[in-house]
Structure 1
Amino acid sequence: MTTAMGFIMLAIIVVLLISNKTSIIPVFGIIPIVAALILGYGLKDIQGFMNDGFKSVLNTIILFSFAVMFFSLLSDVGMFDVIVNRVMKYLGNNVLAVLYVACFVTIISHLDGSGATTALVTIPTMLPIFKKMKMRPICIVFVMCLLSGAMNITPWCASMLRITSVTGLDAQELWRYLAPIQAFAIVISLLLMIPIAALEKKNGAGMTDEEFAELKKTLAQPAKVSVSRPVLIFDMALTAFMIVGLLLGWFGTAIGFIVAFGLALIVNFKTTKEQGAKIKQYGGPAINMVMTIIAIGVLVGVMNGTGMIESMTNTILAVLPESLGRHLCFLVSLLVMPINTIIGSDNIYFALTPIMQQIVSTYGVTDLALATSIVVPCAIAAGITLIGPSPYLALGLADCTMGEHLKYSFKWIWLVTILCTVFGAVIGKIPF
């Protein structure tokens, strides 16, 4: 009953998100509670599940609130206009070039292994350029998720730390084993930008000759800023310090953005009345995403508290035919991406992997091969899961919905994971 309810609930959620019939907040905030009531849990039990879920997303709420207000302030005073104008002078009217710049920014910003840092650096930097080029905001979310996923297979990233903690492997050893697949994933992701550019152009991206000529005239003029030059220089220096500090791990994301927003607010707006008005102004875009993340806490808490996640994972394992033996790794690797979207990566690493380890070891499959078949598709798909808060940070920064993300990104990311699995099998890293 619990398993069936879990799959039915998630099916309803996915349909509602993709069809855009309603906002994500009532979807995540109401449907899990109704499901728990049907399973026979009382309101007190459900409240306890929700409290546990809220704890799991609290850091994301704090981070998102101050990060959005910080970048909203910088946009308000005109700092991003200055940056965009300079970048556009070099990029010109080239959609593919913009995509490759976004790929480069994502790769560099993900060197620290943090998905939050990558989103906070890549999307505010690239989104104004995407808008200038009439490219859909969901496209930058897709590019960031795909390239950060390909970079997610380095020894210090969360994906590798999770899989090695379960299998007992050394992260460095595992990375050396699967490095050719990671290189292949990056190359395929970069090549994929060519059809993505064509897709965006078909959707109206890019400018006509007249529009580009008008843009060049605009770029020749200084960008409009509402603060003095010394204050603008301070804003740029503070932003550069934040990016470098996050990438090098000098401070945590939450404390960094709390302090950065406070400093930027004081320097850019002198009176308490003006500061208060700006907090209200910038808080508007943040509150919708904060409510979304709280609703995700409801979903995560209820699914864990009622045992839905565990029972769904066990069901997935039960339907995997052990008779496939060593071919089981290849089959699971092909399916990890959609499974990750439904139950999240932690459940794949900590629930599915140990059981898989026991099954395939009897057929002579090494832990290195098993770990590779799991971590490669799971890491690449880390940015597209229903029950993790991280994707919603990126979506919130780009003002996009999970429904848009699923419709735009799911097929492409799954394609990349399939190609990586096949490549891994061809070179002998994944058993087939």
Structure 2
Amino acid sequence: MLVILGFLMVAVFMYLILTKRATPVVALTLVPVAFGLLAGAGLGIGDMITDGIKSLAPTAALLFFAIIFFGIMIDVGLFDPLVKGILKLVKNDPMKLVVGTAVLAMVVSLDGDGSTTFIIVTSAMLPLYLKLGVSPVILTVVAGLANGTMNIIPWGGPTVRAASALGISPSEVFIPMVPSLIVGLIIVLAFSVHLGIMERRRIGSLVYDRQLVKQGASTDTTTGRDGGTGTGGGDGSAGQFIDGLDPNRNTLRPKLLWFNATLTVVLLVVLVMDILPIPVLFMIAASIALAVNFPKVKEQGEAIARHSSSIVSVVAMVLAAAILTGVFQGTGMVEAMAEWLLNVIPSGMGPYLAVITGVLSLPFTFFMTNDAFYFGILPVLSETAAQYGIEPVEMARASITGQAFHLQSPLVPAILLLVTLAGVSLADHHKKVLWRAAVISLTMLVVGVALGQIPFG
């Protein structure tokens, strides 16, 4: 029964999200509560939800103060020179802009934190997308694919989790998978080029059609050219960012440019060194940035209020996602689904468990947290695979190939932050990104098999 309820809960949730019949916050709240009660949670559902919120509270704090910090850096003009430099390089070419977005996301992803990556990429690139008329959905797709592919770096999280769960070294897992990572990044660039060319053609057609309209031609020729993507979102976040880069805004602090740049670099360096918890780092950095750039209390309040819509949207979705994870784990649905899966795998498929694990890592890490998959399901799969001579390190390598797909999950706070800042609906993002992410993940798995890092049979 738990297995059926688990799969039904996932199906109902995804249906509501993809068909836009409910916002992510509403779906993440009501669907798990309803199915949790059907699973017999009773009044205990309160404790389950509380446990889920406790587990994601640090993430909510991180996003809260990260948005404030980088929002302040945008307000004071830290990223203005970068935007101007990129604009010179792309030369109003949508294709170059999209490829530049992918490269920037790959480089920034080296810090291992998706939220930081998306804040920097969005703040630097979104104004250019809006200026050129390129759909912000393309930005979220490219940035999401780049960061998801890079997510297998040892300090990013999944590789460490897989290694810790199976008692092996992260380097044993990651280093042999470097060729798979390189191929995955090449595919990301290929998708970026294709999407950029499509946007270049679409924008060119729109410009041509507008010229015809000005000349008195029928306005019917412009109908449906952009496929409904538009050049902005419905929550005002995109407009907020483009307004924030007004060269004449009164929040600019040119005399503090080097201070703000140094503070940002120090923050990222300390973040990579892992000296303090990331939420604590952003709390301290945001407070310093506020105090130095806006010494008056009124100015500090106004600085926070300018980014309040983004803060409320993303933090609300994170806390709502905690309800789903809490119910999933508290009711035992995760364990029941894992046991069912092991029972339905024919014994003859045992020698292929590494590849099966790689394929299953796509849906499993999409519908549950990395912690639940790597610490709850992977050890069970690895123990079963050991009976067929498959080493734990080989299972770990296979398990991380689904990260490009995993990162697009609504349970990942970073992706919620990305779509919120870009003003893009999660449904529009998923329609363009999911199949591309699946291609990248499965290709990385195939490369691992071809090079002998992941056993097949």
Q: Is TM-score (shorter-chain normalized) higher than 0.5?
A: yes
Per mean C-alpha deviation after superposition, the further-off stretch among 128-137 and 230-239 is: 230-239
The answer to whether the aligner puts 1:299 opposite 2:324 as a matched pair is yes
The answer to whether the aligner puts 1:353 opposite 2:378 as a matched pair is yes
Sort the Cα spacing of 1:99 and 1:317 in 2 relative to 1 into closer, same or farther, 3 A: farther
Sort the Cα spacing of 1:167 and 1:243 in 2 relative to 1 into closer, same or farther, 3 A: closer
Sort the Cα spacing of 1:47 and 1:205 in 2 relative to 1 into closer, same or farther, 3 A: farther
The residue correspondences of 1:51-90 to structure 2 (distance < 5 A) are 51-90=50-89
- Residue 236 of structure 1: CA displacement? 4.3
The answer to whether the aligner puts 1:396 opposite 2:420 as a matched pair is yes
CA distance in 2, matches of 1:117, 1:78: 18
Per mean C-alpha deviation after superposition, the further-off stretch among 403-412 and 231-240 is: 231-240
RMSD between aligned residues: 2.8
Q: Of residues 247, 262, 272 in structure 2, which corresponds to 1:223?
A: 247
Sort the Cα spacing of 1:26 and 1:194 in 2 relative to 1 into closer, same or farther, 3 A: same
* Contact 2:66/2:116, CA 8 A, preserved across alignment: no
- Residue 203 of structure 1: CA displacement? 5.0
Question: Match of 2:255, as an amino acid?
Answer: P
* Contact 1:344/1:386, CA 8 A, preserved across alignment: no
Count of matched residue positions in the alignment of Structure 1 and Structure 2: 419
1:219 corresponds to:
none
Per mean C-alpha deviation after superposition, the further-off stretch among 75-84 and 322-331 is: 75-84
* Contact 1:102/1:144, CA 8 A, preserved across alignment: yes
1:375 corresponds to:
400
The answer to whether the aligner puts 1:189 opposite 2:212 as a matched pair is no
CA distance in 1, matches of 2:167, 2:291: 49
- Residue 413 of structure 1: CA displacement? 0.5
2:32 corresponds to:
32
Sort the Cα spacing of 1:2 and 1:236 in 2 relative to 1 into closer, same or farther, 3 A: same
CA distance in 1, matches of 2:81, 2:342: 53
Question: Match of 1:28, as an amino acid?
Answer: L
CA distance in 2, matches of 1:104, 1:249: 25
Question: Match of 1:183, as an amino acid?
Answer: I
Q: Of residues 381, 398, 408 in structure 2, which corresponds to 1:384?
A: 408
The residue correspondences of 1:159-170 to structure 2 (distance < 5 A) are 159-170=158-169
The answer to whether the aligner puts 1:253 opposite 2:278 as a matched pair is yes
Q: Of residues 418, 422, 426 in structure 1, which corresponds to 2:442?
A: 418
The answer to whether the aligner puts 1:92 opposite 2:91 as a matched pair is yes
Question: Match of 2:100, as an amino acid?
Answer: V
Structure 1 counterpart SS, 2:388:
coil
Sort the Cα spacing of 1:252 and 1:108 in 2 relative to 1 into closer, same or farther, 3 A: farther
CA distance in 2, matches of 1:362, 1:143: 40
The answer to whether the aligner puts 1:7 opposite 2:7 as a matched pair is yes
Which consecutive segments of 4 or more residues in structure 1 shift more than 6 A? none
Per mean C-alpha deviation after superposition, the further-off stretch among 19-28 and 276-285 is: 276-285
1:138 corresponds to:
137
Question: Match of 2:356, as an amino acid?
Answer: L
CA distance in 2, matches of 1:87, 1:153: 28
Sort the Cα spacing of 1:191 and 1:97 in 2 relative to 1 into closer, same or farther, 3 A: same
The residue correspondences of 1:91-110 to structure 2 (distance < 5 A) are 91-110=90-109
The residue correspondences of 1:11-26 to structure 2 (distance < 5 A) are 11-26=11-26
Sort the Cα spacing of 1:281 and 1:113 in 2 relative to 1 into closer, same or farther, 3 A: closer
Structure 1 counterpart SS, 2:133:
coil
Sort the Cα spacing of 1:82 and 1:271 in 2 relative to 1 into closer, same or farther, 3 A: same
2:225 corresponds to:
none
CA distance in 2, matches of 1:180, 1:228: 44
Sort the Cα spacing of 1:347 and 1:294 in 2 relative to 1 into closer, same or farther, 3 A: closer
CA distance in 1, matches of 2:339, 2:117: 33
TM-score under structure 2 length normalisation? 0.82
1:214 corresponds to:
none
2:340 corresponds to:
315
- Residue 244 of structure 1: CA displacement? 4.3
* Contact 2:52/2:326, CA 8 A, preserved across alignment: yes
* Contact 2:145/2:188, CA 8 A, preserved across alignment: yes
The residue correspondences of 1:237-276 to structure 2 (distance < 5 A) are 237-249=262-274, 251-276=276-301
The answer to whether the aligner puts 1:329 opposite 2:329 as a matched pair is no
Structure 2 counterpart SS, 1:111:
helix
Per mean C-alpha deviation after superposition, the further-off stretch among 164-173 and 231-240 is: 231-240
CA distance in 2, matches of 1:16, 1:202: 33
1:216 corresponds to:
none
- Residue 411 of structure 1: CA displacement? 0.4
Structure 2 counterpart SS, 1:359:
helix
- Residue 12 of structure 1: CA displacement? 0.9
The answer to whether the aligner puts 1:429 opposite 2:453 as a matched pair is yes
> For residues 134-177 of structure 1, what are the alpha-carbon distances to aligned partners after superposition, in whole Å with 9 as ceiling and x for unaligned?
23333333323322232233333311111112223222222232
* Contact 2:318/2:411, CA 8 A, preserved across alignment: no
- Residue 81 of structure 1: CA displacement? 4.3
Structure 2 counterpart SS, 1:28:
helix
Question: Match of 1:96, as an amino acid?
Answer: M
Sort the Cα spacing of 1:183 and 1:77 in 2 relative to 1 into closer, same or farther, 3 A: closer
CA distance in 1, matches of 2:110, 2:404: 15
> For residues 272-294 of structure 1, what are the alpha-carbon distances to aligned partners after superposition, in whole Å with 9 as ceiling and x for unaligned?
33433443333233112221111
- Residue 421 of structure 1: CA displacement? 1.9
- Residue 47 of structure 1: CA displacement? 1.2
> For residues 150-209 of structure 1, what are the alpha-carbon distances to aligned partners after superposition, in whole Å with 9 as ceiling and x for unaligned?
223333331111111222322222223222222222222222222222343355489969
CA distance in 1, matches of 2:312, 2:128: 25
Sort the Cα spacing of 1:132 and 1:259 in 2 relative to 1 into closer, same or farther, 3 A: farther
Sort the Cα spacing of 1:85 and 1:54 in 2 relative to 1 into closer, same or farther, 3 A: same
Structure 2 counterpart SS, 1:110:
helix
Per mean C-alpha deviation after superposition, the further-off stretch among 79-88 and 183-192 is: 79-88
Unpaired segments ≥5 residues, structure 2: 211-245
CA distance in 1, matches of 2:106, 2:32: 36
* Contact 1:329/1:370, CA 8 A, preserved across alignment: yes
CA distance in 2, matches of 1:75, 1:228: 10
